[in-house]
Amino acid sequence: MEICRGNDELEISELDPFLAELLRQIPASTNPEGSPAAEQRLFSRPADKGEKESCAEWKLYVEPELRKFFHTATETVASDLEQLNGNERTFANRTLHIPAKHADAWLSALNQARLVIAAKYDFTEGELCDHYRSPIGSRRDLSLFQVNFYGFLQEFILREIIGCGEKRSD
Amino acid sequence: MRRQPHWGGSWVAQSERFAGLIHLDASPLRATIANPTIEEETQTGESLDLPWQVVVHNDPVNLMTYVTMVFQRVFGYPREKAERHMLEVHRNGHSILWSGVRERAELYVQQLHGYLLLATLEKVD
């Protein structure tokens, strides 16, 4: 796999079928359904548990807006990922172009996916730092690899498109 | 008196916010006119001025560079200050990012949740 910054886009080329499939799974991975831990992580409390009234108001007014916001980001990513669709029986490597204007949507969707997967599998901090574990041991190992792969993409988007590391002029 | 945050701004319809404050009942009104009583003001200026703080809690999944970027974007902090807060979250489990008036603190918490950070609004004791 090769990643390079082009004109107003990020190009991920030489994507082998395995990594292409992991990318295709981003939208589905953002869905916390069936996992209360993942649901709680995406929609965490805005105040201490004792602040019942404010937590209830948040659930009523803010949470639906957050759901819409997260869903919009995921839809943008899903639409970019359509580039990877094609003849699934060929094992040729593929190329994905991520427009710079979609960078925030990608950061959000990748973060949603990482948080949901990590919550579902309850990964420890030690596991999350283990970047060398093989993805082929178990479903858990594959999911850990997925979290780290998405994290790698996030880092790249932050550095190459968002320009993190550049100092603010103001 | 402790005020509850109401998650105002664009999130909450004004009508909803004020609905609970308006009571229309004819008989108490007549009684009040006939025999007026002055109720004590329970919400003092001092209580309104008490600051609220925006606290961000550690989450090992969020990337350090991502958290730094969020602090720069939401609070407009320079990179060095944003990194200091990020490291404080990482090492101490939490960091107080901002303190001040409630409405602004609420807005910051909403924005931080939009970036999927674990953020809470807390009253300064």
Tens digits of residue pLDDT in A53-96: 889 999 999 999 999 999 999 999 999 999 988 766 666 788 99
To the nearest whole angstrom, how far is the Cα of A46 from the nearest Cα of chain B? 5
What ipTM does this complex have?
0.90
- Could B119 and A168 be called an inter-chain contact, meaning their C-beta atoms sit closer than 8 Å? no
- What percent of chain B has pLDDT above 90? 56
User: How does DSSP classify residue B3?
Assistant: P
Q: Is residue B87 one of the residues assigned to a domain?
A: yes
To the nearest whole angstrom, how far is the Cα of B124 from the nearest Cα of chain A? 13
Q: Tokens in use for B125? A: 């004791």
B25 shares its domain with B66:
no
B19 shares its domain with B55:
no
Find the CATH number of the domain harbouring B69. 3.30.1390.10
Which of B76, B78, B114 lies nearest to residue A69, judging by beta carbons?
B114
Minimum mean pLDDT range among B1-10, B16-25, B53-62: B16-25
Which of B7, B69, B116 lies nearest to residue A62, judging by beta carbons?
B7
B54 shares its domain with B102:
yes
- Could A154 and B66 be called an inter-chain contact, meaning their C-beta atoms sit closer than 8 Å? yes
Q: Is residue A170 one of the residues assigned to a domain?
A: no
Tell me: pLDDT of B11 over 50.
Answer: no
Q: Is residue B79 one of the residues assigned to a domain?
A: yes
Which three-class secondary structure string do you get for chain A? CEEEEECCEEEEEEECHHHHHHHHCHHHHCCCCCCHHHHHHHCCCCCCCCCHHHHHHHHHHHHHHHHHHHHHHHHHHHHHHHHHCCCCCCCCCEEEEEEHHHHHHHHHHHHHHHHHHHHHHCCCHHHHCCCCCCCCCCHHHHHHHHHHHHHHHHHHHHHHHHCECECCCC
Mean pLDDT over the full length of chain A: 89
Question: Per-residue pLDDT averaged across B19-32, rounded?
Answer: 34
Domain with A67, as residue range(s), is 2-85+94-162
B59 shares its domain with B114:
yes
B118-to-A67, A113, B27, B30, B57 alpha-carbon distances in Å: 16, 16, 49, 51, 5
Q: How many domains does chain A have?
A: 1
B27 shares its domain with B58:
no
- Could A46 and B76 be called an inter-chain contact, meaning their C-beta atoms sit closer than 8 Å? no
Q: Is residue B109 one of the residues assigned to a domain?
A: yes
Q: Is residue A145 one of the residues assigned to a domain?
A: yes
Minimum mean pLDDT range among A91-95, A127-131, B34-38: B34-38
What is the structure's pLDDT at B1?
A: 42
Tell me: pLDDT of A103 over 80.
Answer: yes
Q: Is residue B8 one of the residues assigned to a domain?
A: no
Q: Is residue B2 one of the residues assigned to a domain?
A: no
In this prediction, residue A138 has a pLDDT band, given cuts at 50, 70 and 90, of confident
| Centroid of chain to Cα B35 | 40
What is the structure's pLDDT at B88?
A: 97
Q: Is residue A127 one of the residues assigned to a domain?
A: yes
What is the structure's pLDDT at A85?
A: 84
**pLDDT tens track for B85-110:** 999 999 999 999 999 999 999 999 99
Look at residues B6, B22, B45 and tell me which one is the last residue of a structural domain. B45
For CA atoms A7, A11, A14, A17, the dihedral sign is negative
Tell me: pLDDT of A126 over 80.
Answer: yes
B52 shares its domain with B86:
yes
Does A147 touch chain B if contact means CB atoms closer than 8 Å? yes
Domain with B37, as residue range(s), is 14-45
What is the structure's pLDDT at A1?
A: 86
Name which residue leads in pLDDT, B121 or A169. B121
Does A88 touch chain B if contact means CB atoms closer than 8 Å? no
Does A162 touch chain B if contact means CB atoms closer than 8 Å? yes
B76 shares its domain with B87:
yes
Taking contacts as CB-CB distances below 8 angstroms, the residues of chain B near A165 are: 65, 79
- What percent of chain A has pLDDT above 70? 92
B52 shares its domain with B110:
yes
To the nearest whole angstrom, how far is the Cα of A164 from the nearest Cα of chain B? 7
What is the structure's pLDDT at A132?
A: 75
What is the structure's pLDDT at A125?
A: 85
What is the structure's pLDDT at A114?
A: 97
B62 shares its domain with B119:
yes
Q: Is residue B1 one of the residues assigned to a domain?
A: no
Name which residue leads in pLDDT, B110 or B16. B110
Q: Tokens in use for A35? A: 């996992």
Q: How many domains does chain B have?
A: 2
What is the structure's pLDDT at A88?
A: 61
Q: Is residue B119 one of the residues assigned to a domain?
A: yes
Tell me: pLDDT of B10 over 50.
Answer: no
Question: Per-residue pLDDT averaged across B56-72, rounded?
Answer: 96
Question: Per-residue pLDDT averaged across A103-132, rounded?
Answer: 92
Taking contacts as CB-CB distances below 8 angstroms, the residues of chain B near A56 are: none
Q: Is residue B54 one of the residues assigned to a domain?
A: yes
What is the structure's pLDDT at A107?
A: 97
B51 shares its domain with B111:
yes
What is the structure's pLDDT at B93?
A: 96
Q: Is residue A167 one of the residues assigned to a domain?
A: no
B21 shares its domain with B78:
no
To the nearest whole angstrom, how far is the Cα of B51 from the nearest Cα of chain A? 15
